[in-house]
Amino acid sequence: MTIKLIGIYFLILVTLMLQACATVQLNKTPEEIYSQGETNFRKGNYEEAIAEWKKVKESYHSPELSARAEIGIADAYFMDKDYIEAAAAYEDFRKLHPVHAKAEYALFRQGMSYYRQIHGIDTDQLPVNNAVTILESYLKLYPTGEYIQEVRDSLKDCRNKQLQYEIYVGRYYLKTDKYPAAIARFEAALARFPDSAHRDELLFYLGKAYREAGDNEKARNAYEKLVKEYPASPFAAKAPKNL
């Protein structure tokens, strides 16, 4: 048998296999497949739900059914704690359906997908920064939105984590005797986060950085501001009484 004939037989075999797959797929309507996905989603079988909803999406049966399948896929990723895939799926939905009734929900869930990826202040800050960007977008686009309170709470927590990261890096500079770098980090953080719950800690370490750098006047100013604005703070109690 020549190579050419083998190639022809192979193509015929592949064609028959594809036709068989297509026949199986046509045994159920897109609506029935979508309903199967809903059943699996309710049972917590998220991978199965995603697989079925992808079939619905790829069937191009109707724009609305495809949109429902797309948001379902994103929700299934989210519930399965696959937040990276969830964030991407919610973003895709918003790009494809910017004025859809679920666009607000998708933006909220995209922000929460990034928020759920945050693990600590000393780790990659990309999820925190992404969460802040999306949650701030929600506040601008939906100032009276359905999820406004949760967005505000999550955004506040993200900003506190950003400040804690700045303190973490600044303290590293202090520990390694890089006082100008520490001062620059703390000063920038003070300007960037004027309402953070960790400003007392920030002022304390700013004073310490100035003191270690030999600038007692600026150290005194930072400590005095700490004691005046946060008299009950444990950091105020640690501030030097005389410089």
pLDDT single digits (tens) 169-201: 999 999 999 999 999 999 999 999 888 888 999
Least reliable range by pLDDT among 24-38, 122-136, 212-226: 24-38
**Band (2; pLDDT cuts 50, 70, 90):** low
pLDDT at residue 15 greater than cutoff 70: no
Taking residue 241's Cβ as centre, other Cβ atoms within 10 Å add up to 6
* DSSP designation for 125: -
Find the length of the chain.
243
pLDDT of residue 80: 97
pTM above 0.85, yes or no: no
pLDDT at residue 19 greater than cutoff 50: no
Higher per-residue pLDDT: 160 or 42: 42
pLDDT at residue 241 greater than cutoff 90: no
Q: What is the pLDDT of residues 54-106, one digit of tens each?
A: 999 998 889 999 999 999 999 999 999 999 999 999 999 999 999 999 999 99
Return all residues near 219 (Cβ < 8 A) that are at least 6 apart.
Answer: 207, 208, 210, 211, 243
> What is the distance between the alpha carbons of residues 25 and 37, in angstroms, rounded to a whole number?
14
Taking residue 44's Cβ as centre, other Cβ atoms within 10 Å add up to 11
> What is the distance between the alpha carbons of residues 137 and 59, in angstroms, rounded to a whole number?
33
Asked if residue 173 lies in contact with residue 179, where contact means CB atoms within 8 angstroms, the answer is yes
Q: Considering the chain, what is the average pLDDT of its residues? A: 89
DSSP string, 133-194: HHHHHHHHH-TT-TTHHHHHHHHHHHHHHHHHHHHHHHHHHHHTT-HHHHHHHHHHHHHH-T
pLDDT of residue 102: 97
CA nearest neighbour of 201 among 229, 176, 173, 243 = 229
pLDDT of residue 44: 97
pLDDT of residue 242: 64
